[in-house]
Amino acid sequence: MLCSGTGCVAGGSYRIKDALEEEICKHGIQNEVSVVITGCNGFCGQGPLMAVQPDGIFYGWLKQEDIPFLVEEHFLKGRPAKKLIFVPPEKKEPIPLLQNIQFFQKQRLIVLRNKGIIDPERIEEYIARDGYTALEKVLSSMKPEEVIDEILRSGLRGRGGAGFPTGAKWKICRGEKKTPKYIICNCDEGDPGAYMDRSVFETDPHTVIEGMTIAAYAIGARRGYIYARSEYPLAIKRMKTALDQARDYSLLGEKILSSEFSFDIEIREGSGAFVCGEETSLIHSISGKSPEPRQRPPFPAQVGIWDCPTVINNVETLANVPVIITRGAGWFAGLGTQTSKGTKIFSLVGKINNTGLIEVPMGISLREIVFDIGGGIPGNKKFKAVQTGGPSGGCIPAQLMDLPIDYESLAGAGSMMGSGGMIVMDEDTCMVNISKFFTQFTNDESCGKCSTCREGSEALLEVLTRISDGEGREGDLEFLEELGMAIKDASMCGLGTTLPNPVLSTMRYFRDEYEAHIKEKRCPALVCRNLIKYFILPEKCVGCLMCRKNCPVEAIQGELKHIHVIDQVKCSKCGACLEVCPVKISAVVKASGEEARNLKSLDMPIAVVEFKKQMKAQKEV
Amino acid sequence: MQKLTIDELKKIREAARKDIYLRDGEFRGKIIVHTGTCGIAAGARDVVSAFMQELNTSGRRDIIITTTGCAGLCSREPMATVELRDAAPVRYGDLDSEKVRRIFREHVQGGLIVQDVAIGIGSERG
């Protein structure tokens, strides 16, 4: 319905009418779409205006050149042309209060208290928001043992994934007689999909510096290292600026804040090795040795870098320290669960509406994270699982959605907290493919020292690839389980001991998917390329050429108004045809297994009218 | 620089508070563009340029533009928050230079929030 008020006519609504009618005829849909001229709608400032009913969509500020795109998008593909839409004022919702929006409401910001508020490159802003008050308190009124005690009582546990009590680690190091002692901040963050530590560096680097300085005071260290992966250039740049500014303000270096305590920090960069997130490999990397783990005990807190007592803490762990000192251990221990205190930052990614970083109290349920904070799954698809802990973790399925998030409950479900990556998966995710992806990753990143990790991951990958390609055999699943357990038992470091987790956990909850791949040669989620087939249903195809035009490998035959046929040999399974086939026609389907095998193609493209005649004749017979 | 004492740091803190809290300072408006890696990848630097261009054209000296790190809701980047004195801050998302122009003219200068671009108003719950 095109507005023909004076304003819109002056804006060209009649030219738009002509353009609309031309486009509609061109696509042969004149029997389905009619163009009607109406009177003035009232929104003259937004004209030329058009309303599409019964869809209830208004388009505004229309220009002639917008029309072909609009017709193709809205009338052929069935999706309103978003960029041209205009929302009439009375239909607008009032702007919600940020704190009432689910995404923000359920979060509890401790580490991320300054996010989006301060300029990370201006130390004055951090100071203005009570920055460095914790360091003031520590230097003026607390002994090192008292600091350690406070952190112990708070219940803070390592946020890198293993969850070792931070206070205990500091106490062990303090108790060692050998000097010098060192503190290292681990910002290697190798998990795919995890970017919490990067964000803390980019958003609020001083909270880490302050935490690290307090830790150094507690254990008696004079030098610290920040180990950051070189793939984080902006994070490193902002941290460097922050360190320089801290030195300018006597918050780092000799005689901090005119006290007797001196401490400084140097940045060392990683070079693309996932294994360097592991404590002992990290130490070797900094000291110029081969980046491989070593046997523990002794632990780094007793024998660390250059054989000196060293505490290695994750970025998030250190970032919590200033707030625990200012607000007290009791306050911190009041948040979270019995065994897991405080908050945790998660990177909520994957098939989720509100992708981003969230800081939530321990004990919150997965259901709240996915559906309240995350806003649910896009396209209203069915939730399938959440992968926590990255390549060291496992998946949590729908039946465990009410699990409270803490270290013990996640481990009990066959996963782990990990560094905080949370990848949401829906019905279109193939769990076999996911375990193959993570195994490929850890196989790539294995340092090669232990046979179980090096050869074991290779063998796991070989079996998973066969299963995904449709060559799975009887006995494969039992083999995966046995080998997985052996790798867990006999590998020396965390990379090896946790690498079978994705495989074992997906088999625990989604065994039926594995069995479908092996026994029926079917991929239920329609992902594994060798097991899926794209097919054009002859009874639905109108021969519009859309799929043929978009096929990157020219695998589709058929002239205009002839049934299109996909050459299964040429088909690269890219899915472009399924995407471009107009919604009203929906002739392209994706299938796997028995269903795919039963779809029979025409031998060659015949005219649509010819096909319809044949169908009619068959029915009459 | 001379070694600071704790008392001197406390004085610096007081002074710094005036800077960042609008009600005590001399600025009428503050535009915060969120520039973490996610924001930059989505085009935050263009958003900063667009705001600066608008500010220059307007010739005003009572509005400041500043940048912060990631604000958390990465799927709606590039984002910016507009804070006018005596009014609640408004967070905008999915920005491009066109929307930036509208925000500067309608909200920063005109005082009217651009509803269709706004995500929310006020501050996040601490």
Residue-wise pLDDT tens for chain B (126 aa)? 578 999 999 999 998 887 776 655 678 899 999 999 999 999 999 999 999 999 999 998 899 999 999 989 999 999 999 999 888 899 999 999 999 999 999 999 988 999 999 999 988 864
CA A411 to chain B, closest CA, distance in angstroms equals: 27
CA distance A534 to A590: 5
User: Which residues of B make CB contacts under 8 Å with A?
Assistant: 1, 3-6, 9-10, 12-13, 16-17, 19-21, 32, 34, 36-38, 40, 66-75, 81, 90-91, 113, 115-116, 118-126
Cα–Cα nearest to B38, from B80, B73, B90: B73
Residue A97, pLDDT score:
85
Residue A544, pLDDT score:
93
The stretch A351-368 carries a mean pLDDT of 95
> Cis omega (within 30 of 0) on the bond before A96?
no
- Work out the mean pLDDT of chain A and round it to a whole number: 92
A43-47, A224-228, A594-598, B52-56, range with the lowest pLDDT: A43-47
Residue A260 has pLDDT above 50, yes or no: yes
Report whether A148 contacts A218 (CB < 8 A). Answer: yes
A 316-355 near B (Cβ less than 8 A): 353-355
Cα–Cα nearest to B73, from A143, A442, A115, A177: A115
Cα–Cα nearest to A350, from A276, A298, A424: A424
A 198-227 near B (Cβ less than 8 A): 198-199, 202-204
A 370-399 near B (Cβ less than 8 A): none
CA B59 to chain A, closest CA, distance in angstroms equals: 24
Report whether A391 contacts A502 (CB < 8 A). Answer: yes
Mark A301-315 as b/e (b = at least 16 C-beta within 10 Å).
bbbbbeebbbbbbbb
Residue A35, pLDDT score:
84
Q: Chain B residues with CB inside 8 Å of A354's CB?
A: 73, 75
Residue A377, pLDDT score:
96
The stretch A298-326 carries a mean pLDDT of 97
Closest residue in chain B to residue A354, using alpha carbons only: B75
Residue A222 has pLDDT above 50, yes or no: yes
The strand pair at A343-350 and A221-229 is best described as unpaired
Distance (Å) of CA A310 to CA A170, A485, A567, B10: 9, 32, 63, 32
Residue B126, pLDDT score:
46
Enumerate residues 6+ apart whose C-beta is below 8 A from A446: A275, A453, A454, A457, A495, A496, A499
Residue A522's CB is within 10 A of a number of other CB atoms, namely: 22
pTM exceeds cut of 0.90: no
Q: For residue A482, count CB atoms less than 10 angstroms from its CB and return exposed for 0-12, middle for 13-18, buried for 19 or more.
A: exposed
Q: Chain B residues with CB inside 8 Å of A85's CB?
A: none
Residue where the block lists tokens 């254990």 = A219
Cα–Cα nearest to A305, from A183, A203, A189: A183
| Residue of B69, B81, B125 lying closest to A204 (CB–CB) | B69
The stretch A216-228 carries a mean pLDDT of 97
Q: Chain A residues with CB inside 8 Å of B67's CB?
A: 119, 121
Report whether A461 contacts A443 (CB < 8 A). Answer: yes
Report whether A64 contacts B82 (CB < 8 A). Answer: no
Query: Per the structure block, which two tokens stand in for B1?
Result: 């620089």
% of residues, chain A, pLDDT over 70: 96
Nearest 5 degrees, angle CA A356-CA A358-CA A362?
A: 150
Beta bridge partners of A534: A590
A 242-261 near B (Cβ less than 8 A): 248-251, 255, 257-258
Residue A250 has pLDDT above 90, yes or no: yes
Residue A208 has pLDDT above 80, yes or no: yes
A604 CB within 8 Å of a chain B CB: no
Complete DSSP assignment for A276-319: GGSHHHHHHHHTTS-S-----SSPTTTS-GGGS-EEEEEHHHHH
CA A109 to chain B, closest CA, distance in angstroms equals: 6
A235 CB within 8 Å of a chain B CB: yes
% of residues, chain A, pLDDT over 90: 77
Residue A455 has pLDDT above 90, yes or no: yes
Query: Per the structure block, which two tokens stand in for A304?
Result: 């660390």
Report whether B75 contacts B61 (CB < 8 A). Answer: no
User: Hey, is A34 helix, strand or coil?
Assistant: coil
Mutation target for A interface from B45, B68, B123: give the one with most A CBs within 10 A.
B68
Q: How confident is the model at residue A79 (pLDDT cuts 50, 70, 90)?
A: confident
Q: How confident is the model at residue A82 (pLDDT cuts 50, 70, 90)?
A: confident
A 122-151 near B (Cβ less than 8 A): 124-125, 127-130, 132-133, 136, 139-140
